Structure 1
Amino acid sequence: MLDFLAENNLCGQAILRIVSCGNAIIAELLRLSEFIPAVFRFKDRADLQKYGDIIFDFSYFKGPELWESKLEAKPELQDLDEEFRENHIEIVTRFYLAFQSVHKYIVDLNRYLDDLNEGVYIQQTLETVLLNEDGKQLLCEALYLYGVMLLVIDQKIEGEVRERMLVSYYRYSAARSADSNMDDICKLLRSTGYSSQPGAKRPPNYPESYFRRVPINEAFISMVIGRLRSDDIYNQVSAYPLPEHRSTALATQAAMLYVTLYFEPAILHTHQAKMREIVDKYFPDNWVISIYMGITVNLADAWDPYKAAKTALNNTLDLSNVREQSSRYATVSERVHTQVQQFLKEGYLREEMVLDNIPRLLNCLRDCNVAIRWLMLHTADSAYDPNNKRLRQIKDQILTDSRYNPKILFQLLLDTAQFEFILKEMFKQMLSEKQAKWEHYKKEGSERMTELADVFSGVKPLTRVEKNENLQAWFREISKQILSLNYDDSTAAGRKTVQLIQALEEVQEFHQLESNLQVCQFLADTRKFLHQMIRTINIKEEVLITMQIVGDLSFAWQLIDSFTSIMQESIRVSPSMVTKLRATFLKLASALDLPLLRINQANSPDLLSVSQYYSGELVSYVRKVLQIIPESMFTSLLKIIKLQTHDIIEVPTRLDKDKLRDYAQLGPRYEVAKLTHAISIFTEGILMMKTTLVGIIKVDPKQLLEDGIRKELVKRVAFALHKGLIFNPRAKPSELMPKLKELGATMDGFHRSFEYIQDYVNIYGLKIWQEEVSRIINYNVEQECNNFLRTKIQDWQSMYQSTHIPIPKFTPVDESVTFIGRLCREILRITDPKMTCHIDQLNTWYDMKTHQEVTSSRLFSEIQTTLGTFGLNGLDRLLCFMIVKELQNFLSMFQKIILRDRTVQDTLKTLMNAVSPLKSIVANSNKIYLSAIAKTQKIWTAYLEAIMKGSPSRYRSPLSRPFTSLPQRRQHTLV
């Protein structure tokens, strides 16, 4: 029969492509959920006030003409709407395409089922596909993945946010008229009322009513649930032979069954016999499950609204059973941890020991992984609603009876991962060398027999060995038999090898050869080589496959984050812990096999993007854990800088020997040396983690260290700039210069620390400093300039922002978004031409009332000292944006007040005629000017405001306008 997954099997390839697409869609939804524009959430009251009139939920569809007419009635709203469209159409379109792909997925699945029923695929029906092992798996996965998609969407992208995005796409997309399935997508993804916030009430009939929004063939649903109930569709039980491990063996299938049951909720509500069967088979000893890549569900909570399901689960949730399971796993975890620690002792896991104890080692691995899985899932905070009294009681019972200690559980996970990693590497090496070693042992054994035959021939003299032609011929025959063993026919070779070992034992006994030690040694050596051949022939890939199945850690994809603080504390205490963590990260990377398997089988182009997403997530987590090293280094660094700056006196080039003791300062210098040594130890720790392939991303520890140092530097410098440049506008005199000096000292400390550290951690300190400081300043300038741009630069579009080394954003403290805006506006405030004047020759601003100096050109030298050339360049760029904005405002005001006002134009024309020619004396000037001023009085306030903000008004020539008479001149200007 044709292989179901063969490329020329259209039926198999069609369903494989659907399932592959399903895994890719879930990855895209998870990726996009991290990029939801905050404005769509309406969490900020300012966003609601600003955008509330242009962002709509599905109530818009009840009367779109009414809403659009309201927008058209207000030009300012139209302008805001257009600006919003320009800034968000790209990300909104990406979300819409993801939503569309979910709808397309279920449409494609329904069409495939229709094709099966209509006989489009020759000799294939729904029943025959379900009889095929691969077909059965794929059909079950297809329905399950659709359910997972819907649950992921509701968990990660709230219903109201989805509605606002869909309406925005509908309004802004030019292609909406061609979107015939827009209505269907909106019906599928309209808000369910579900909220992922802790303590939120579950909507009635959720999620079954959500799952029913697109009808699916009921016979198909029923048959899939039937297969999941009765069969071991992935043949996992063979990897878990012990009966107490059965629920773990069937955990993947149990998760699929949990999701698919929502497509037929009648079973959950009323089919008590079926639910008892399901619970007895899949959930007799567990009730917290992982449904997809670490998304956990507590059945005690999820099945509470369903009578049959709740009743069936009561036996599992009985406190006596909870106590029994908790105590059992406490005992098992203690026992296996002792075993694993024994196995991990130096020199214990030798090749011979491993080959002789494969079943024992695999049993230990199974027990470890099963215990870790049960304890991690059933003690997870995310699995229990703190407001549910019954769930709280169950969790407290588990924590007490299992004697739960997160540090001990983490240590077990660490040791198990290390044990698993060593075993896998040994088996991979043994498999690669298997044939070569087998041939070597065969050759050695055959040569021993040939040499022994020569001994009994009398040709080769050996002490006290008489010639024996029978033994000579026998040993030659044994040599030939050994040489005739065939590696490719392992079963026959193994059987024959055992017979040869028995024959060699018998010849030694019957021919009384024990008396000759040399002959005995030859026979013992040959038997040893034959034993090695049996061991080697038994090295099979099935052992690696079993280890891969047993070592699955996909359930902890999200739960592992709860152990981050323990990991970081362990690294801080012992930096060499990084080498053990490497094995844990690699174990976690095996979770990528789950979503990538079908994508790979289908040769889908999505393989790279999905691999990159999950690998990127894992690498980000690795960076997060290892960030404790740069953090600890910087903590030590700050202490070093403090000692060097305040405690240690700089030694002069010439020094009297009497004063040497005063300059020695042994205590502070010892402390500096101790802290420096700690920094180098941290560096060694992270560099001990060899270059590792995490998913498809290569993690280089040296690069990881450098990125971590950059990240910590960016975090601290950005915080220093944010805190250091907050001004009180009422302060007299201005806080500008003192704050710049203080910030300059802080920045100098960071700079000096980088110069000091670079040799101890083998990095280019000055290069990193300049790159990161320029990036921080340029990013903040970019964010500040966004206020003046119609099409704003989002974080994910910025060339300065980075995922791995993010520049933190801080809540604005005034009208400015960033520190560079506050600095710029403070300079403008203290040099305001209404309050100050600039003396060109002195490059100084003076207060017009007190005649005291306000600031001078030293200000810009101080800014350069503190923020460098990047800071001055950023200020210049920001001021350019401000000038353009002022010019636009002036032009707008000029058009509004003068060009559109006929009266003002006529007045100005009359005035022009009256004063022409300009060089002559104006007759009756008092009357003409007073009349013109009276008629154009409303212009001058706005006009003066615009002129005073322009740069020329900040500079007054002391020659034509002496400083002492400036108040009078200013008064004259106002007139």
Structure 2
Amino acid sequence: MIFTTRCCQQLSRGVVLTLQVSAYPLPEHRSTALANQAAMLYVILYFEPSILHTHQAKMREIVDKYFPDNWVISIYMGITVNLVDAWEPYKAAKTALNNTLDLSNVREQASRYATVSERVHAQVQQFLKEGYLREEMVLDNIPKLLNCLRDCNVAIRWLMLHTADSACDPNNKRFRQIKDQILTDSRYNPRILFQLLLDTAQFEFILKEMFKQMLSEKQTKWEHYKKEGSERMTELADVFSGVKPLTRVEKNENLQAWFREISKQILSLNYDDSTAAGRKTVQLIQALEEVQEFHQLESNLQVCQFLADTRKFLHQMIRTINIKEEVLITMQIVGDLSFAWQLIDSFTSIMQESIRVNPSMVTKLRATFLKLASALDLPLLRINQANSPDLLSVSQYYSGELVSYVRKVLQIIPESMFTSLLKIIKLQTHDIIEVPTRLDKDKLRDYAQLGPRYEVAKLTHAISIFTEGILMMKTTLVGIIKVDPKQLLEDGIRKELVKRVAFALHRGLIFNPRAKPSELMPKLKELGATMDGFHRSFEYIQDYVNIYGLKIWQEEVSRIINYNVEQECNNFLRTKIQDWQSMYQSTHIPIPKFTPVDESVTFIGRLCREILRITDPKMTCHIDQLNTWYDMKTHQEVTSSRLFSEIQTTLGTFGLNGLDRLLCFMIVKELQNFLSMFQKIILRDRTVQDTLKTLMNAVSPLKSIVANSNKIYFSAIAKTQKIWTAYLEAIMKVGQMQILRQQIANELNYSCRFDSKHLAAALENLNKALLADIEAHYQDPSLPYPKEDNTLLYEITAYLEAAGIHNPLNKIYITTKRLPYFPIVNFLFLIAQLPKLQYNKNLGMVCRKPTDPVDWPPLVLGLLTLLKQFHSRYTEQFLALIGQFICSTVEQCTSQKIPEIPTDVVGALLFLEDYVRYTKLPRRVAEAHVPNFIFDEFRTVL
């Protein structure tokens, strides 16, 4: 408490001083000079609230010293405090502040700063005129220039703090009255204040650069001027020696000796002792003026010229010796903009509008950003003095914040570019007709289209001007981060591209599930036209803005799609991938997230679920030979493989590949749900288990013929009828998604072979080589094999899937445990569905009734995928049960002299054939369970 009181007393009496006081020698700048102390005092007073409450004399002294003309202060990095509000509960503080807040004082201060800002703005604009700030002018007018800088910064500080919205509570009548008074009397205009800030920053930047340059060359120039002056005096001494007759100057030994002495005196000047050298240089200048006057040397122009040159060099030496680092320190202190760390954001819209109107404004903004970067000195000062290891991290943080703000301001350039780009897209897509290869002369005028082409040229020129504006900024060190304008421009273009493409994808892929027919193809075509427009226009402007358009397009579109796929797949993961963990998300070029419009999180989910909806096996029938889905009731085509070509055109390889990944996750989810259902409806149901045990006893051993097979099989089906509805739905869903994955793989493989035949051939050969190596290793373990830490297999899988060189049916989606009754349950399920199907010569297996829909391809592929997840012996047992069913039923028909093969047997045989075809296994796998003659007979009957 005693320490706090002493601090208050010392601060109020000005005992604790800073370098700022020496930088602000004028009395009208006192409150600015003591601003740091005032901020410290404001905080310290809260540790001794009795002073704020009752010590009126002390508070009056504090207010008179620190707050006579200001009541809004910045305490740290732009955190502003309005003392009117902060000291309202404290009687002594409030009373002491009343003098400052008197309306006549408010009016006087506002009017004064209005006058000052107008005067100094005119001065600064004069200084910034081309060629005005020359080295000689700067060195001769250092006090004048520094005074102008002080007035500018003080006026900017006062006006920004006291007119800020954050400094005034609009609900407080007194606050509003004071602020209205300030706005009126200061003739406040945010654009004029911002222009003053810009010009001051530019002026300050030029002066700093000039002084840095002069300081670096100071000694070199001083020595050069000294050498030149000494040589002039030596030459002048030679002139009066009489040796050089061409000079026509009479010999004068006294002047000769005097000039040689002056030359020695000049050479003896010591750079390190600047005070003595300066004093002696002034004396030498006076001596040269006197010798010219007393010895009547004006009659000889050559001698006069030598004397004038020497005096000029001596004057330059005085100017050069007066270049002090203290001037730079003063400029650094005076130019502090830490109070505006947050307030500057209120001028963002003005900055952006200025850039939109005049892109070259970026050069002045560069100086403003550098001025704002000086605010970093405040948080780093004490950290640096304490030799804290946090110096780098704190520097990184504040520099990063400032660079983010720079990016935010300059983002208007890419936005403006893309506004022009959209107009170019419209003109090129709708207005300008493509010129044919051969053209009749009389139609040349029609194809010229001078108006639209002029408009495109005008918009292109505007885009190139914006590019030129940002590149004028040059590479700049903002804090400890180097900002490359070319990289800044590219990042800005990427950000705008990502924002617009992501929005187009989000808006373009929203479907109405009740629409008849589906909106899928029309929406894809419309979105494809939009994406093509973006792509073509981006390709068109790449040379004008000096960027790799195709590279940026592919990188950003792939990033958008992969990010959205990742977010959609999060629904299927226990541990979600957050934005900060995503390899596709970026801080500087963020991918926007949109509010979901249905159960899907992103557009890729909506697209996938719409495809699943329109190809639902309950509503459609898939004809494998045509790769087409037909409506079961109307027999109209719903969609075909053209759908995937359209997706490839619209979303590219990334979109198709992302859709494939999402389907993988959905299949995994369905298989997991299936296993849960299997546990629930089969392994926990005593009746079903008893039925399965009875059937297993009846069909054992599997190679034998089952007597009275119809009764045994159909009795088991009847007893388990209730479980097959859910079973069928799960199997069909998996099969449906496997068909879609096959179609996607076919489209990817086709486009890869067509567009990148060398890549496709290389991937196929590498894949075959790896498979051969793995197979050889298993046959002979001594042969080399990829080690566990080798990522080749993992990496090539991504390439193979992207190129469609894989078979989705061979994929293991989940890890499984042994399940009792699994083969016989699947067998029973299959034969339970066969009565619902019939064979059609043109279409294959189709359902008998549209009201009892079973689609054959999803059924086969679903069962195949399910069996693939388990040990191969389950598949062997399943196939053996089907073979036994076929043989037993055929044997029974033969014994009963039934001439036709039952439809159930036909279905089972077709299932075996399709199983062999889809898995690409040899026919002998099926023939191991069903004799050849049955297959042959079956084909002749069909």
TM-score (normalizing by structure 1): 0.74
- Alignment-derived partner of residue 519 in structure 1: 303
Residue 365 of structure 2 aligns with an amino acid whose one-letter code is L
- Alignment-derived partner of residue 302 in structure 1: 86
Out of 844, 849, 853, the residue aligned to residue 970 of structure 1 is 853
Describe the SS at the equivalent of 1:316. coil
- Alignment-derived partner of residue 932 in structure 1: 719
Alpha-carbon contact 1:438-1:533 (below 8 Å) kept: yes
What does 1:863-874 correspond to in 2, within 5 Å? Answer: 863-874=647-658
Describe the SS at the equivalent of 1:879. helix
- Which is further off, 540-549 or 757-766? 757-766
- Alignment-derived partner of residue 228 in structure 1: 11
Structure-2 separation of matches of 1:926 and 1:450: 128
Alpha-carbon contact 2:617-2:855 (below 8 Å) kept: no
Structure-2 separation of matches of 1:750 and 1:417: 39
- Alignment-derived partner of residue 220 in structure 2: 436
Alpha-carbon contact 1:833-1:954 (below 8 Å) kept: no
1:681 aligns to 2:465 (yes or no): yes
Aligned length: 755
- Which is further off, 864-873 or 273-282? 273-282
Describe the SS at the equivalent of 1:509. helix
Out of 481, 504, 507, the residue aligned to residue 723 of structure 1 is 507
Structure-1 separation of matches of 2:573 and 2:7: 55
- Residues 271/676 of structure 1: CA separation in 2 closer, same or farther (3 Å cut): same
- Residues 876/321 of structure 1: CA separation in 2 closer, same or farther (3 Å cut): same
Residue 848 of structure 2 aligns with an amino acid whose one-letter code is S
1:611 aligns to 2:395 (yes or no): yes
- Residues 905/268 of structure 1: CA separation in 2 closer, same or farther (3 Å cut): farther
- Residues 972/486 of structure 1: CA separation in 2 closer, same or farther (3 Å cut): closer
Deviations 1:890-923, CA, capped at 9 Å, x for gaps: 2223334443455654454456557778833269
Describe the SS at the equivalent of 1:368. helix
Q: Per chain length, whose mean CA-contact separation is higher, i.e. which structure has more relative contact order (CA < 8 Å, sep 6+)?
A: 1
What does 1:236-275 correspond to in 2, within 5 Å? Answer: 236-275=20-59
Describe the SS at the equivalent of 2:75. strand
Deviations 1:473-514, CA, capped at 9 Å, x for gaps: 222222211111111111111111112222222222233333
Once the 2 structures are TM-superposed, how far is the Cα of residue 270 of structure 1 from its aligned partner? 2.7
- Alignment-derived partner of residue 766 in structure 2: none
- Residues 385/928 of structure 1: CA separation in 2 closer, same or farther (3 Å cut): same
- Alignment-derived partner of residue 895 in structure 1: 679
Unaligned runs of 5+ in 2: 740-836, 860-903, 905-942
- Residues 232/221 of structure 1: CA separation in 2 closer, same or farther (3 Å cut): closer
Structure-1 separation of matches of 2:332 and 2:299: 51
- Alignment-derived partner of residue 476 in structure 2: 692
Alpha-carbon contact 1:914-1:928 (below 8 Å) kept: no
Residue 368 of structure 2 aligns with an amino acid whose one-letter code is T
Describe the SS at the equivalent of 2:240. helix
- Residues 282/958 of structure 1: CA separation in 2 closer, same or farther (3 Å cut): farther
- Alignment-derived partner of residue 754 in structure 1: 538
What does 1:187-226 correspond to in 2, within 5 Å? Answer: 218-226=1-9
Structure-1 separation of matches of 2:437 and 2:107: 75
Structure-2 separation of matches of 1:355 and 1:579: 25
- Alignment-derived partner of residue 147 in structure 2: 363
Alpha-carbon contact 1:232-1:250 (below 8 Å) kept: no
Structure-2 separation of matches of 1:537 and 1:543: 13
Once the 2 structures are TM-superposed, how far is the Cα of residue 460 of structure 1 from its aligned partner? 3.0
Alpha-carbon contact 1:837-1:954 (below 8 Å) kept: no
1:920 aligns to 2:719 (yes or no): no
- Alignment-derived partner of residue 111 in structure 1: none
1:648 aligns to 2:432 (yes or no): yes
Deviations 1:744-791, CA, capped at 9 Å, x for gaps: 000000010111111111111111111110000001011111111111
Structure-1 separation of matches of 2:522 and 2:418: 26
Alpha-carbon contact 2:847-2:855 (below 8 Å) kept: no
Once the 2 structures are TM-superposed, how far is the Cα of residue 598 of structure 1 from its aligned partner? 2.8
1:549 aligns to 2:432 (yes or no): no
- Alignment-derived partner of residue 870 in structure 2: none
- Please tell me whether Structure 1 or Structure 2 has the larger radius of gyration of its CA atoms: 2
Alpha-carbon contact 1:908-1:932 (below 8 Å) kept: no
Residue 833 of structure 1 aligns with an amino acid whose one-letter code is P
- Residues 220/943 of structure 1: CA separation in 2 closer, same or farther (3 Å cut): farther
Alpha-carbon contact 2:292-2:298 (below 8 Å) kept: yes
- Residues 953/459 of structure 1: CA separation in 2 closer, same or farther (3 Å cut): closer
Measured on the aligned residues, the alpha-carbon RMSD in Å equals: 2.5
What does 1:31-46 correspond to in 2, within 5 Å? Answer: none
Alpha-carbon contact 1:833-1:953 (below 8 Å) kept: no
Once the 2 structures are TM-superposed, how far is the Cα of residue 457 of structure 1 from its aligned partner? 2.6
Describe the SS at the equivalent of 2:297. coil
What does 1:543-692 correspond to in 2, within 5 Å? Answer: 543-692=327-476
- Residues 300/941 of structure 1: CA separation in 2 closer, same or farther (3 Å cut): farther
Alpha-carbon contact 2:616-2:736 (below 8 Å) kept: no
Once the 2 structures are TM-superposed, how far is the Cα of residue 593 of structure 1 from its aligned partner? 1.4
Unaligned runs of 5+ in 1: 1-217
Structure-1 separation of matches of 2:208 and 2:685: 86
Residue 291 of structure 1 aligns with an amino acid whose one-letter code is I
Structure-2 separation of matches of 1:927 and 1:800: 55
Out of 598, 615, 618, the residue aligned to residue 834 of structure 1 is 618
Alpha-carbon contact 1:839-1:958 (below 8 Å) kept: no
Alpha-carbon contact 1:832-1:954 (below 8 Å) kept: no
Identity of aligned residues (%): 91
- Residues 954/418 of structure 1: CA separation in 2 closer, same or farther (3 Å cut): closer
What does 1:315-330 correspond to in 2, within 5 Å? Answer: 315-330=99-114
Deviations 1:544-571, CA, capped at 9 Å, x for gaps: 0000000011111111111111111111
1:400 aligns to 2:184 (yes or no): yes
- Alignment-derived partner of residue 271 in structure 2: 487
- Residues 702/404 of structure 1: CA separation in 2 closer, same or farther (3 Å cut): same
Deviations 1:328-359, CA, capped at 9 Å, x for gaps: 11111000000000011111111111111000
- Alignment-derived partner of residue 766 in structure 1: 550
What does 1:145-224 correspond to in 2, within 5 Å? Answer: 218-224=1-7
Structure-1 separation of matches of 2:78 and 2:498: 32
- Alignment-derived partner of residue 800 in structure 2: none
Alpha-carbon contact 1:384-1:395 (below 8 Å) kept: yes
- Residues 620/952 of structure 1: CA separation in 2 closer, same or farther (3 Å cut): closer
What does 1:851-890 correspond to in 2, within 5 Å? Answer: 851-890=635-674
What does 1:62-77 correspond to in 2, within 5 Å? Answer: none
Once the 2 structures are TM-superposed, how far is the Cα of residue 931 of structure 1 from its aligned partner? 7.7
Alpha-carbon contact 1:838-1:954 (below 8 Å) kept: no
Once the 2 structures are TM-superposed, how far is the Cα of residue 461 of structure 1 from its aligned partner? 3.6
Structure-2 separation of matches of 1:575 and 1:350: 27
Alpha-carbon contact 1:844-1:856 (below 8 Å) kept: yes
Deviations 1:619-662, CA, capped at 9 Å, x for gaps: 12112111111111111111112112111111112222111111
1:818 aligns to 2:602 (yes or no): yes
What does 1:316-465 correspond to in 2, within 5 Å? Answer: 316-461=100-245, 465=249
Describe the SS at the equivalent of 2:584. coil
1:314 aligns to 2:98 (yes or no): yes
- Which is further off, 516-525 or 955-964? 955-964
Once the 2 structures are TM-superposed, how far is the Cα of residue 226 of structure 1 from its aligned partner? 3.6
Deviations 1:668-699, CA, capped at 9 Å, x for gaps: 11111111111111111111111111112211
Residue 434 of structure 1 aligns with an amino acid whose one-letter code is K
- Residues 455/953 of structure 1: CA separation in 2 closer, same or farther (3 Å cut): closer
- Residues 770/485 of structure 1: CA separation in 2 closer, same or farther (3 Å cut): same
Describe the SS at the equivalent of 2:853. helix
Alpha-carbon contact 2:363-2:473 (below 8 Å) kept: yes
